[in-house]
Copies of this chain bind each other. A is one copy, B any other.
Amino acid sequence: MIKSLSGIIAYTVTPFRNDKVDFDVLYALIDQLISTGVDAIAALGSAGECAYLDDDEWAEVAEKTINYVDGRLPVIVGISELTTKKAVARAVLANQLGADVIMVAPFSYYPLSESEIYDHYYAISGAVSMPIMVYNNPTTCGVDMSAEFMLSMVSNIEQISMIKESSGKIERMHQIYSLSAGQVPFFNGCNSIALEALNAGAAGWCTAAPCLLGHLPKKLLNAVRHEQTELARTLFYHQLPLLDFIVKEGLATSVKAGLSIKGIAAGDPRRPLKPLDEQKTLQLSLLLEAYR
C-alpha cells in the first residue's frame, strides 16, 4: 500500500456521449495521460464532475478507471458528498475497488464548522484502510480550512496523510510547510500558482492540465526539482495562459472543450454546466496552438 504520493497527479474529465459516460474516450484519455509521464491518475475530482454523477455512474467510473490503469500508476478517487453517510459509502466502495488514495472535500450545503468537518473525515477514516488526502477548496465547498486545522486532522485522524491546497493562497502553503517542518506532503490544487507551490515545497501538483498540455506540467515540476530556476520560470509563463484559462472558465467545461479541439470527443459537461461558447472556444483553439 502506498503511504504517500508525489509529482504530477493528473485529473481526468468524465467524458459523456448522449449524457452517458463514454468509457472508450476515458480509456484513451488515461492512456494519453500516462504517456505524458505523470505520476498518478485522479478520477472524479472537480474536473471529473464528481458532484454531477449519480451513484451508479460514480461507481462505474471509479471501478473502470482503477481497472484500466491496472497498476501502471497509483489511482486517486475524489469524494465530494453532501452527507457523511454517502461520503462513507463511496469511500468504502473506492477502497473495495482498489483505489490507492481517496481525496475528500468538505463539500456541503451549509458552510461546515471545524468540528463538523473533523467528524466527517473521522467517520470516513474509520471505514477505510487507504490514505486520505484532505482537499481544501473554498470556491466549491464554501469553507476555507486553516493550515492548523488541516494539520490537526493529519495528526489525529489515522488515514489522513496528505493535503491538497486549492485556496490559491500561497501563504497557506507556507504555513503548512512551516508548521509541519516540511514533513506533511501537500499538493498544489490551484493551477495559477503552480510555480510558487513547487518552489515553496509542494510534494506535487494536482491538475487536469496534462489533458491539454501533455508533458509540460511534468517538465515544469522537473525543472524545479533539478534547480533550473530560469527554465522553470520560462516553462511556467509558457503554460500560464492556458492554466489561467481553464481555471477561469471552469475545469470540466474548458478541459472538455480543449480535448474536443485536440480530437478527443469528451463531450459536453453535464447541465447546469454548459459547453464553452463559440468565442471562447476560438480563444482556446488559439491558445492551444502555442503548445503544439
**Cβ of A196 under 8 Å from chain B:** yes
Question: Contacts of A140 on B, CB cut-off 8 Å?
Answer: 109-111, 142
Chain A residues numbered 53-112 whose CB sits less than 8 Å from any CB in chain B: 80, 82-85, 106-112
Question: Contacts of A110 on B, CB cut-off 8 Å?
Answer: 46, 139-140, 250-252, 273
A220 to chain B, nearest CB (A): 12
Query: How far is it, in angstroms, between the C-alpha of A84 and the C-alpha of B200 when the chains are bound?
Result: 41
**Cβ of A278 under 8 Å from chain B:** no
Query: How far is it, in angstroms, between the C-alpha of A178 and the C-alpha of B224 when the chains are bound?
Result: 20
* Partner among B84, B224, B270 whose Cβ is within 8 Å of the Cβ of A83: B270
Query: How far is it, in angstroms, between the C-alpha of A140 and the C-alpha of B52 when the chains are bound?
Result: 17
> How many identical subunits does the complex contain?
4
Query: How far is it, in angstroms, between the C-alpha of A225 and the C-alpha of B82 when the chains are bound?
Result: 40
**Cβ of A228 under 8 Å from chain B:** yes
* Partner among B52, B82, B196 whose Cβ is within 8 Å of the Cβ of A199: B196
Supposing A139-B111, A192-B171, A229-B199 touch, asked if A274 and B119 sit within 8 A by C-beta, the answer is yes
Closest to A271 in B: B84
Query: How far is it, in angstroms, between the C-alpha of A174 and the C-alpha of B142 when the chains are bound?
Result: 26
Are A274 and B111 in contact, CB atoms less than 8 angstroms apart?
no
Are A272 and B116 in contact, CB atoms less than 8 angstroms apart?
yes
Question: Contacts of A108 on B, CB cut-off 8 Å?
Answer: 51, 272
Question: Contacts of A252 on B, CB cut-off 8 Å?
Answer: 110
**Cβ of A256 under 8 Å from chain B:** no
Are B199 and A271 in contact, CB atoms less than 8 angstroms apart?
no
